[in-house]
Each structure stands twice: as structure tokens, then as C-alpha cells.
Amino acid sequence: MSALYAPTARPARTARTARPARSVRAVWTTWAARATRAGLGGPARRSRRGHRAVECVLLGSGVALVPWLVVLATTLPPTAQVGHWNVAWVGLDALEAVGLVATGLLRRRGDDRHRLTAAATSALLVVDAWFDTVTAAPGTELAAALAMAVGAELPLAALCAALALKRAPGAPRTGPEAAGLTSGTWPTTG
């Protein structure tokens, strides 16, 4: 009976049976994958929790703005005397110019960050078109604002939005395309 519990000698490791040295990154990646599969809160799980918090803040802020819009609509006067009106408009147009030039230069260099400047510039152009038209006096001023919006600002905004949303060559598909969904089709289960 004592032979069953007697310690056995381990065979010595030879050069062929020795484990190869592993990098810290390889060890970490293996641990993280096992921990995530086991539900132990690996990096992917912790990262997702952070995303949920950001999403909750964004969604909550958007919903909280709805009552504020009602307050503004009912309490703001229809006209206002504004100081530094010229600085506001020059600043907005300067930001648009910087955004358009930066987007063009980044795209010409093949830098994928042009999508970021294109998205911001698109938003600025839409805001400019909106405020130009709603602050214009009736008559020729309003006609000029509408002509600028339709003829320049909104088409440039659409171009910038298309650049911002266009998938980079070789980039993995995301969203409905990645799931095999196209308009009017749903995945079926076997």
C-alpha cells in the first residue's frame, strides 16, 4: 500500500521536451482569452463595462436634452441683441475652412484620419447652413442664405459625411453587412 503513495521521480527534461520561452504578451493573451471564456472578467469584459458606462452617459444626456428643448422653445425671446456677432460668424467659417483644408490634405496623403476631420467639418457645414437660414432677414438676405445652403454648404456637408462613413479598403465589414443582413433579408436558422 505504501508503494501507491510513494513519490515518483520525474524524468529530467531534455532539450526536446523543454518548453519554449514565451513572451509576456503571449502569456497575457492566453490568460485573457481563458479568463474571458470562463467569464472571469478578462480585458474584453472590463472594456465592455467601460463602453456601457459611456453609452449610458451619452443616451442619458440625449434624453435629458428633450425637456431642455421645451424650456428653450417656450422661454427664449424671438429676437436678441448679440455682442460679437461678427466674431461668431468669422470663427465658424474659419473652422469650416480649416476642416476642409485638413480633410483634403489628410486624404491626399492617404491618412485615414481624414475621416475624423470630414465628420467634424460635415457637422460644422450643416450648422452653418441652419443658422444662416434661420437668422436671415426675409427677402434677399434669406434668398442668399438659402442659395448658399443648397448650392455650397449642404453639398459639401454631404461629401464630407460620405468621406467620413466610407469604409477603408481592406477594413473588416461591420454592422448589418457583417451579419449577412442586406435590405429585406434576415438570417435564418438551420
Residue 97 CA to residue 124 CA, distance in Å, equals 10
Place of cell 503513495: 5
* All three cell numbers of 87: 466674431
Residue 15 CA to residue 106 CA, distance in Å, equals 53
Element of type H or E holding 158: helix 154-165
Residue 68 CA to residue 62 CA, distance in Å, equals 10
Q: Which long-range contacts (CB under 8 A, 24 or more apart) does 111-118 make?
A: 112/168, 114/163, 115/163, 115/164, 115/165, 115/166, 116/164, 118/160, 118/161, 118/163, 118/164
pLDDT of residue 54: 87
Per-residue pLDDT of the chain (190 residues; tens, 9 = 90+): 455 555 555 555 555 555 555 666 666 666 666 666 655 554 555 566 677 888 899 899 999 999 999 998 999 888 888 899 899 999 999 999 999 999 999 999 999 999 999 999 999 999 999 999 999 999 999 999 999 999 999 999 999 999 999 876 666 766 655 655 555 555 555 4
pLDDT of residue 74: 92
Dihedral over Cα of 84, 89, 94, 95: its sign: positive
Task: Give the CB-side neighbour count of residue 106, counting CA atoms within 13 A.
Answer: 17
pLDDT of residue 190: 46
pTM: 0.64
Which regions of 12-152 does DSSP assign to beta strands (E)? none
